[in-house]
A = this chain, B = another copy of it.
Amino acid sequence: MLSNHLQNGIETAKMVWSRIPNAEEGDHEDAGLLRKSDGSSVESLEYEVVENHAYWEEQDQRGKLFLVYYVVVKWFFALLIGIGTGLAAVFINLSVENFAGWKFALTFSIIQKSYVAGFIVYVLINLVLVLSSVYIITHFAPAAAGSGIPEIKGYLNGVDIHGVLLFRTLIGKIFGSIGSVGGGLALGKEGPLVHTGACIASLLGQGGSTKYHLSSRWLQIFKSDRDRRDLVTCGCAAGVAAAFRAPVGGVLFALEEVTSWWRSQLMWRVFFTSAIVAVVVRTAMGWCKSGNCGHFGSGGFIIWDISGGQEDYSFEELLPMAVIGVIGGLLGALFNQLTLYISYWRRNHLHKKGNRVKIIEACLVSLITSIISFGLPLLRKCSPCPDSDPDSGLECPRPPGMYGNYVNFYCSKEKEYNDLATIFFNTQDDAIRNLFSAKTIHEFSAQSLLTFLVMFYTLAVVTFGTAVPAGQFVPGIMIGSTYGRLVGMFVVNFYKKLSIEEGTYALLGAASFLGGSMRMTVSLCVIMVEITNNLKLLPLIMLVLLISKAVGDAFNEGLYEEQARLRGIPLLESKPKYQMRKMTAKEACGQRVVSFPRVVKVADIVSILRSNKHNGFPVIDHTRIGETLVIGLMPRSHLLVLLQSKVDFQLSPLPSDPRPGSRPIRHTPSEFVKPASSKGISIEDIHLSSDDLEMYIDLAPFLNPSPYIVPEDMSLTKVYNLFRQLGLRHIFVVPRPSRVIGLITRKDLLIEDSEESDTVELQSTSISAS
Contacts and interface: CB of A to CB of B under 8 A. Distances in A.
A722 B735 contact: no
A614 B743 contact: yes
Across the A-B interface, the 7 shortest Cβ-Cβ residue pairs: A589-B742, A734-B737, A706-B714, A275-B542, A733-B742, A618-B740, A731-B744
Contacts of A526: 248, 526
Contacts of A252: 252
B579 A742 contact: no
A645 interface: no
A632 to B, nearest CB: 9
Given A542-B247, A738-B630, A738-B735, A746 B583 contact: no
Interface in A31-51: 39-40, 42-44, 47-48
Contacts of A579: 751, 756, 759-760, 763
B629 A736 contact: yes
Contacts of A720: 749
Interface in A746-768: 746-751, 753, 756, 759-760, 762-764, 766
Interface string A498-530: 000000000000000000000001100110011
Nearest to A616: B743
A130 interface: no
A29 B618 contact: no
Given A275-B546, A706-B718, A745 B729 contact: yes
A56 B668 CA distance: 58
A450 B694 CA distance: 84
Interface residues on chain A, size class: 35 or more
B710 A763 contact: no
A731 B614 CA distance: 29
Contacts of A30: 747
A156 interface: no
Nearest to A613: B747
Given A582-B760, A583-B759, A744 B589 contact: yes
Interface of A: 1-2, 10, 14, 18, 27, 29-30, 39-40, 42-44, 47-48, 158-159, 247-248, 251-252, 255-256, 262-265, 267-268, 271-272, 274-275, 278-279, 282, 307, 521-522, 525-526, 529-530, 533, 535-536, 538-539, 542-543, 546, 549, 570, 572, 574-583, 585-591, 593, 595, 614-616, 618, 620, 627-631, 705-706, 708-726, 729-751, 753, 756, 759-760, 762-764, 766
Contact of A746 (B158, B264, B575, B717): B158
A712 B1 CA distance: 13
Contact of A742 (B578, B585, B630): B585
A538 B738 contact: no
Given A248-B525, A593-B741, A748-B589, A574 B265 contact: yes
Contacts of A719: 744, 749
A169 to B, nearest CB: 24
Nearest to A43: B717
Nearest to A712: B741
A271 B522 contact: yes
A572 B746 contact: yes
A628 B586 CA distance: 21
A248 B718 contact: no
Given A570-B747, A744-B719, A753-B577, A256 B247 contact: no
Nearest to A519: B268
B265 A262 contact: no
A149 to B, nearest CB: 16
A523 B11 CA distance: 45
22 contacts: A2-B736, A40-B718, A263-B575, A279-B539, A533-B535, A535-B535, A570-B747, A570-B750, A572-B749, A578-B756, A579-B760, A580-B749, A580-B751, A587-B762, A588-B748, A591-B743, A593-B743, A616-B745, A628-B738, A723-B746, A733-B742, A734-B741
A48 B717 CA distance: 11
A741 B586 contact: yes
Contacts of A705: 713
A722 B106 CA distance: 63
A741 B589 contact: yes
Given A279-B543, A725-B726, 12 more contacts: A43-B721, A272-B546, A278-B538, A582-B760, A582-B763, A590-B745, A593-B741, A709-B709, A709-B710, A709-B711, A710-B744, A724-B749
A255 B523 CA distance: 13
A628 B251 CA distance: 52
Contacts of A745: 27, 590, 615-616, 729-730
Contacts of A724: 749
Given A616-B743, A746-B570, A749-B572, A736 B631 contact: yes
Nearest to A614: B743
Nearest to A581: B47
Contact of A282 (B158, B539, B578, B629): B539
B739 A538 contact: no
Nearest to A45: B717
A721 B42 contact: yes
A733 B706 CA distance: 12
A746 B724 CA distance: 9
Nearest to A618: B740
